[in-house]
Amino acid sequence: MQYKTLGKSGLLVSELCLGAMTFGKEVNEEDSINMVHRFLDKGGNFIDTADVYVGGESEKIVGKAIKERRSEVVLATKVRMRVGPHPNDFGYSRRRIMEGIDQSLKRLNTDYIDLYQLHVWDHLTPIEETIRTLDDLVSSGKVRYIGCSNFLAWQMMKALSYSDFQNMVRFISIQPQYSLINREMDREILPLCKEENVGIIPWAPIGGGFLTGKYRKGESPNSGRLSNGVGESSWENRANEKNFAILEAVQEIAHSLDKTPAQVALRWLLQKEEITSPIFGASSLEQFEENIGSIGWELTAEQWNQLDEISKLPSEYPTRFLEKFKR
């Protein structure tokens, strides 16, 4: 397992991050704990969850899994989504964040979070209030670093600017959807992260399962995540001509290397300069072993470039216009 610094920090994280969204739902508690221990035994140290995953059960299971190995783990969780029926049970108000961190700490059975992330932008709460609260959490020792997830470029830049202007804690990472079939972040988020030295820890690195190769063109799935997914994870959103062309290229390279399509899709991300640590999940121990099999080998430059070329975004304004002014 290789390690990278997370953004503008000295924090070292493993090249793969274990996502715990399936814990307590697709994966029972015993297998989830076993999965965490296997990950740590293989050199992984980065685990991601959220207060809203499976109604808090994911955090509880992670807490049990790392109880005797807390010092080995870079533990990440999130706040923002609705966790109860009352008016202040969601968002980034000072009250919600203060309550949220204590609830997460209790479920995770720890006294600090390594990386506390804002799950989605909150249009109600001023970012100034949110950053000041997060700064207090870092000062108190309950949180070591902060990050964000699913932010637009202007939202992240507004937060970073306020942090810098006020000499407060700043985001060291962002967690966006990013894969061979979801490269929208190439437009502004990736260049911004490179400029501001913000780490990128992508979720859905194999396209919500689309890049595993188990789905076929013209056949609606009757099982798996895409069979009942909505929004980003819906079959309608994934099943288009370009994505199937990308999948075909992934499968061809996988066959030539005696690897699985999922391993090739993850490997492409692992070799992408801007990416810090893709977040992979698993619905079984077998799937876990397959996904972690993406480390320890490399795509050739030709193979990597083939995937990069077929999956890249079309040339668009203003990027297309500004290219001519590069020095």
Active site residues: 53
Nearest to 202 by CA among 182, 180, 177: 177
Quickly list DSSP for 21-83.
Answer: TTBTTTB-HHHHHHHHHHHHHTT--EEE--TTGGGGHHHHHHHHHHTT-GGG-EEEEEE-S--
In eight-state DSSP terms, residue 11 is -
Pick the closest to residue 250 from 277, 212, 292 (CA basis): 212
Single-letter residue type at 124: L
As a whole number of angstroms, the distance between CA 81 and CA 280 comes to: 21
Cross-strand partners of 12: 5
Please state, in angstroms and rounded to a whole number, the distance separating the CA atoms of residues 170 and 187: 22
